[in-house]
Amino acid sequence: MNECPSCGGSLRFDIPTQQLVCERCSSPYDPVSYDRAHAQESTAGQYEANILTCPNCGAEILAADNSAAEYCSYCGSFVMLESRATRENAPEGIIPFRIDKEQCKKIYSDRLRHHIFAPKELRDPDYLNRFSGFYIPYWVFDVGFASDPVITGTKSHREGDYIVEESFSVTGDLSAGLNGIVYDASSSFDDNISASVTPFKTEDMKPFTPSYLFGFYADTVDTDKDLYADDAVELAEETAQRQILSQYAQSLSVTECELGAHVSGTKQALLPVWFLTWRKDDRVAYSVVNGETGKIYTEIPLDTRRFLIGALILAVPLFLLLNILLTVTAMTTMLLASVFTLLGFLFYEAQIQTSADRKANVGNRGAAGTVVKRSGMSSLMKLFRSTSAQVLAFIAVSLLLLFLGFGSENDYLGGFYPLPVIACTILLLWRILATKISASELHTPVLLPSAGSIVAAAAVTYVAIAAPPEDIWYYGASIIAFAGTALTLIAAILHYNTGVTREVPNFFDKAKEERI
């Protein structure tokens, strides 16, 4: 299927030259001319391919040449994929790879430098060599607009002591459209990942010819274009409205927007990504690099031991710095422990929600068949959660700085000392309640992993209220608080790793034969 006319060797698409190159004699060939000369061009909208099936997870990928695969990129198994011949519907377009494997590995390595607590095996050269080139099928939507759009609303400005509110109406001729809106057409490929590596330069798309696939793999199409049509229209309307109103200096509040957006055309295209899988036990993590632009998406877990050792190493200079800048008494040490207890639980709370979102396929419409939003929280908790972490962190740090500053001038914080400790405890208990509600559908025991924070809060609150004269009580409560916070952080890291990884996929039940 991909034999060199000169020597019979295997041809592969060479990214730097954008040509087919023989692996044996290095003869170059133009992909389009080669297909035409060897009847490889799709016939009746189809082309010949091999379907490679993983016996472990059931994932199916396509190879337009005679490539065999001994590694499954979806489940991370080292196994010989089973092969069978087929004829696939040809897409209308393709964007050939522009980023080669060495460039891809450098992009990933540069990103990994920012993750100092990542498992060391992620930096192993043998692991980086597992990057596989994939063509992912996408639906490409072109959206048109009505010729006479109307946007109405209000605008306001101050005149002296009065606020003047006026109505406005924006009309005009919107003959242009928004083209090249893409959504992945494979349910195997998480929508959250596909959105993270977009955009692609669809204006550079070439007509499809199978030779571009030589040396790479392609995923199969199994989602209907109608699943994303409304999303494409909504995105186009939001983009057009934002661009139209951006020319106005005043703040405009839109009450009605009639742009008449509609899908004017849809085509199927294969777009390039580099795909890397990390597996540990029954969890996998994916890293994906846009094969055209180099934009990267990574799922990088934390190494618990490296994280705790790093936190301990960081704590030593921090403690020395505080001793130099402030008079760190037993009381201020306990206050510091109280604030760290709250901040540690906020980190744990965020990881609980991430785990719940991953389990519920939030944002992954291709797999769920519909939009999945966060659930399990009351409307009041949803209102608070969006800004709770930032607000609480600000409150905690402000209290800490205020009372540390007071304590640096006065060896004793006086009768006001219990107030910030009690405030941190109340905020902590509130977030524990909110987290328990948000994790209800995840069936995750919240109270047990957060027991360290609860014990820490109880210890510092008791000592703050009792106000014993001996420093040993304050130092003892501080030790209990730091130990409890460490336990909560360990639970948070476990949830973080659950949130950035996913269960080993199982595609055996997917109706792959009902392809579009």
Under 8 Å CB-to-CB from 474, ≥6 apart: which residues? 330, 331, 333, 334, 463, 468
Residue 473 three-state SS: helix
* pLDDT value of residue 325: 62
- pTM comes to 0.75
User: Which residue type, as a one-letter code, is found at position 44?
Assistant: A
What residues does 46 pair with on adjacent strands?
43, 89
* pLDDT value of residue 506: 81
Task: Provide mean pLDDT across the span 376-386.
Answer: 40
* pLDDT value of residue 432: 72
Q: How far apart are CA 356 and CA 362, in angstroms?
A: 9
pLDDT digits (tens, 9 = 90+) for 338-371: 777 877 777 777 777 666 666 655 555 545 444 4
pLDDT digits (tens, 9 = 90+) for 85-94: 888 888 999 9
Are 209 and 40 spatial neighbours (Cβ–Cβ below 8 Å)? yes
pLDDT at 322 over 70: no
Task: Provide mean pLDDT across the span 13-33.
Answer: 91
pLDDT digits (tens, 9 = 90+) for 186-241: 888 888 888 889 889 988 899 998 899 998 999 888 888 888 888 888 888 888 77
Q: How far apart are CA 15 and CA 17, in angstroms?
A: 6
Under 8 Å CB-to-CB from 312, ≥6 apart: which residues? none
Q: In what order do the strands lie in the sheet with 28-29?
A: 11-14, 19-22, 28-29
Lowest mean per-residue pLDDT among 325-334, 376-385, 429-438, 476-485: 376-385
> Which one is predicted more confidently, 387 or 440?
440
Are 296 and 289 spatial neighbours (Cβ–Cβ below 8 Å)? yes
Residue listed under structure tokens 């790093």: 310
Lowest mean per-residue pLDDT among 69-73, 314-318, 379-383, 460-464: 379-383
Are 400 and 334 spatial neighbours (Cβ–Cβ below 8 Å)? no
Tokens of 428: 């902590």
pLDDT at 41 over 70: no
| Closest-CA residue to 345 (of 277, 408, 430) | 430
Of how many residues is the chain composed? 516
Q: How far apart are CA 295 and CA 274, in angstroms?
A: 10
| Residue 308 burial (10 A CB sphere; 0-12, 13-18, 19+) | middle
Residue 275 three-state SS: strand
Residue 39 three-state SS: coil
Are 501 and 353 spatial neighbours (Cβ–Cβ below 8 Å)? no
CB atoms under 10 Å from CB of 18, counted, come to 15
* pLDDT value of residue 141: 92
What number of CA atoms fall less than 13 Å from residue 402's CA on the CB side? 12
* pLDDT value of residue 328: 64
* pLDDT value of residue 411: 47
Determine if residue 363 is left, alpha or beta; phi over 0 gives left, psi from -120 to 50 gives alpha, anything else beta.
Answer: left
pLDDT at 43 over 80: no
Are 81 and 53 spatial neighbours (Cβ–Cβ below 8 Å)? yes
Task: Provide mean pLDDT across the span 119-143.
Answer: 91
Task: Provide mean pLDDT across the span 381-389.
Answer: 43
Residue 412 backbone phi and psi in degrees, to 5:
-125, 130
HEC per residue, 223-273: CCCHHHHHHHHHHHHHHHHHHHHCCCCCCEEEEEEECCCEEEEEEEEEEEE
* pLDDT value of residue 371: 45
pLDDT at 176 over 80: no
* pLDDT value of residue 481: 86
* pLDDT value of residue 94: 94
* pLDDT value of residue 82: 82
Mean pLDDT (the chain, rounded):
77
pLDDT digits (tens, 9 = 90+) for 398-422: 555 555 555 444 444 455 667 777 7
pLDDT digits (tens, 9 = 90+) for 226-254: 888 888 888 888 887 777 777 665 667 77
pLDDT at 71 over 80: yes
pLDDT at 99 over 90: yes
Tokens of 336: 């510091």
* pLDDT value of residue 109: 92
Inter-CA distances, 307 with 40, 314, 343, 493, Å: 53, 10, 16, 9
Under 8 Å CB-to-CB from 272, ≥6 apart: which residues? 95, 96, 97, 98, 99, 133, 134, 135, 136, 216, 290, 291, 292
Residue 379 three-state SS: helix
**Distance between first and last Cα of the chain:** 24
* pLDDT value of residue 66: 73
* pLDDT value of residue 360: 59
* pLDDT value of residue 381: 38
Burial of 396-412, coded b for 16+ CB within 10 Å and e otherwise, reads beebbeebbeebeeeee
